[in-house]
Amino acid sequence: DAGVIQSPRHEVTEMGQEVTLRCKPISGHDYLFWYRQTMMRGLELLIYFNNNVPIDDSGMPEDRFSAKMPNASFSTLKIQPSEPRDSAVYFCASSRRHEAFFGQGTRLTVV
């Protein structure tokens, strides 16, 4: 397996634009996590899914953020409209029961 695949690796966008981050989890994994990492706040859990169903989205900062998992092999994190304070590295991870595997992350810069 190629591991967790995230796209794009880098994204630069203007304030107010819509941004969509994509994640392909490892086949057979039933948990999927979205994280955001900044120097100030560290690694923050935004939302996680179990069997494509959102279990806890209490970490989603505000209504501008939304996440979907339409099937077991794909998830998106959308920011609309984007703001400069959303600039961060966004990680996706998937797991079965114990070991979680992380993607390489998407570095988002909002100017």
- By the 8 A CB rule, do 92 and 74 touch? no
Q: Is 45 in the site for another protein (CB under 8 A)?
A: yes
Other beta carbons within 10 Å of 5: 14
CA distances from 100 to 45, 60, 62 (A): 13, 20, 26
Q: Which of residues 9-28 bind another protein (CB under 8 A)?
A: none
- Of the listed pieces 14-22, 61-69, 75-83, 99-107, which binds another protein according to CB under 8 A? 99-107
Of 10-18, 62-70, 73-81, 103-111, which segment contacts another protein by CB under 8 A? Answer: 103-111
Write down the least CB distance from residue 91 to another protein, Å. Answer: 5
